[in-house]
Structure 1
Amino acid sequence: MARMTDPTNALRLFQHAFECGQIPVERGRIDPTLMFACDEPKGRTRFNYMRAEGRTLSALVMFVHSDMIEGHPCFNIGYAVAETFRGKGLAKSTLVAGLNEFTNGLNGACIPVIHIEAVIAPENFVSQQVATVIFDSTPVTITDRESGLPALHYMRRINLPMRRL
């Protein structure tokens, strides 16, 4: 049976690697309570932002380069909160903090614009509520290209400030 990609699976894998000390993390530059790690699963760059309570990851937000739109990079976002930490606003706060860190990290990279997108199952009301924090437009109904299932597609264009030399 086809299923949409679930970032909770990535959170579980990250948790195991984090416990074993296999993920080299940096502290956030804007929010030092956020941790950052970059990797390239399946050859696609992924920027990961995490919150932890001790050695336990509580939340994960991922930005994966997915496509180019109008000549600008597009990043698909995914987010997950560990079950014991749900219902505390961690998904929303980590998503906002992660987006701030991500766009701050791109400043000066000669990229004037990025697009971010989220693809969410229509029955995943919690993820839809989280998405409203950073997406201000109504999602479009699509067919998810990974699973072939109906999905909601959220999209946002972000203009990045260009650093002067």
Structure 2
Amino acid sequence: MSASRLFWLPALAGLCALASAQAQTYGLGQALTAQAIAPWDIDVAADGAGLPRGRGSVAAGKLVYDAQCAACHGAKGEGGIADRLAGGKGSLATTKPVRTVGSYWPYATTLYDFINRAMPYTAPKTLKPEEVYAVTAYVLHLNDIVAADAVLDAKGLAAVRMPNRDGFVADARPDTGPTARRP
């Protein structure tokens, strides 16, 4: 038997033993139910698939924004200790691009998704769907994308055409299309 086989046989045996040990059940944890997973199954696709029921107006969004967002993002989305949200229109092709919701983001639905998952920074996932729709409407209004009297729901939000939508290259992988969802 060659020296290399003498090396690899014990290594292979060790890997098999490790795999066998990892397959053991230790009686910890429990199987997750659909009910336990539901509060975390909140992903929203670019086409709006996954958006919940609800609706929110720009006016209601201003109230939520003032209470929950302005301290970090500025009174009008101009930025503060957190990113700037408004402005930057037409700046991406310049030497000093300003990346904001209105100048950079390709889909309004992903704005909803981000706010829903991560905001407010000190208490993520605490806003109700109506509050998230409202803040989304307000931030879109700050960027002159929706009118002051706009009221957004799942259908209306998915229909919003962002200024930089065509500024991105589509992902050609078959599992990432606009309706690709996990099983």
TM range (shorter): under 0.3
Bigger fraction of residues in strand:
1
Structure 2 length normalisation: TM-score? 0.26
Structure 1 length normalisation: TM-score? 0.28
Bigger fraction of residues in helix:
2
**Higher relative contact order (CA closer than 8 Å, sequence separation 6+):** 2
